[in-house]
Amino acid sequence: MTQISFFSRVLDLIAPRVCPACGCRLGITEEPLCAACNIALPRTMHHLQPFDNELARLLWGRIPIEKCAAFFLYKPNSPSSNLIYKLKYFDRPDIGEQLGQLVATEYATENFFDGITALLPVPLTRRRTIQRGYNQSHEIARGISAVTGLPIVKKAIRRKSFRESQTQKNLWERSRNVENAFELCAAEKLNNRHVLLIDDVITTGATLTAVGKELMKVPDIKISILALCFASDK
């Protein structure tokens, strides 16, 4: 049983935490979600078939990938979409790190991380990172790293341009929007590695395809993908 310190109990009384999905008060042992939202989270179970699932099939023929999974399905105007919205737009990097820990804890039991040697968050432009204050994909990677011990590769690839948000764009528009947007800047950090690309939301796969094509310039690299959520059209 988890031991709760007296200080933690007092702090919980003074500054009660709330579930970022539904807004209800969290129990002292609940993190990052309340028990009800955790149970209701629409998990994809991709990690049980990481080589052949709906998300993996979306990327077949576009970039060579090893494993591919998203933790849960993105449903508009739902508690699960609230998580992503607050992570990206409400200055809540802690949500990314805590959800990273949650997905890593669950996926590690099925050996999803076996063979992977490094984590690589999808980069933002420098301007976008300054505006937001953090890169949400890096925060997710931090949580995964804390559980798995896998290192996070930094400054190996950069996003050199940001035209406009991918929201409300179709596959062709998204692909054009990220065309030539990424650039390798330290390929030697990735040589002979099996990297796990970390992203927050996958919709059409355009961003990951653009990153993956740039990564394929690295000798003997293997690429796997893990996102928090997948906005499936089914």
The CATH number of residue 81's host domain is 3.40.50.2020
Answer yes or no: do 34 and 72 share one domain: no
Q: pLDDT value at position 114?
A: 98
Question: Do residues 67 and 50 make contact, with C-beta atoms less than 8 angstroms apart?
Answer: yes
Answer yes or no: do 118 and 198 share one domain: yes
Answer yes or no: do 5 and 54 share one domain: no
Answer yes or no: do 98 and 191 share one domain: yes
Opening angle at CA 39, ends 38 and 42, nearest 5: 85
Mean of the per-residue pLDDT values for the chain? 88
Answer yes or no: do 21 and 57 share one domain: no
Answer yes or no: do 142 and 199 share one domain: yes
Answer yes or no: do 21 and 130 share one domain: no
Answer yes or no: do 33 and 55 share one domain: no
- pTM attached to this predicted model: 0.88
Answer yes or no: do 176 and 188 share one domain: yes
Q: Mark 79-104 as b/e (b = at least 16 C-beta within 10 Å).
A: bbbbbbebbbeeebbebbbbbbbbbb
Q: pLDDT value at position 191?
A: 96
Answer yes or no: do 135 and 220 share one domain: yes
Answer yes or no: do 9 and 113 share one domain: no
Residue 107's domain comprises 42-230
Label residue 197 left, alpha or beta by phi (over 0 means left) and psi (-120 to 50 means alpha).
beta
Answer yes or no: do 15 and 121 share one domain: no
pLDDT digits (tens, 9 = 90+) for 165-184: 545 555 545 556 677 889 99
By C-alpha distance, which of 75, 51, 74, 53 is closest to 64?
Answer: 51
114 token code pair: 């076996």
Number of domains in the chain: 2
Query: Which residues, 6+ apart, have CB-to-CB distance to 7 below 8 Å?
Result: none
pLDDT digits (tens, 9 = 90+) for 69-116: 999 999 888 888 999 999 999 999 999 999 999 999 999 999 999 999
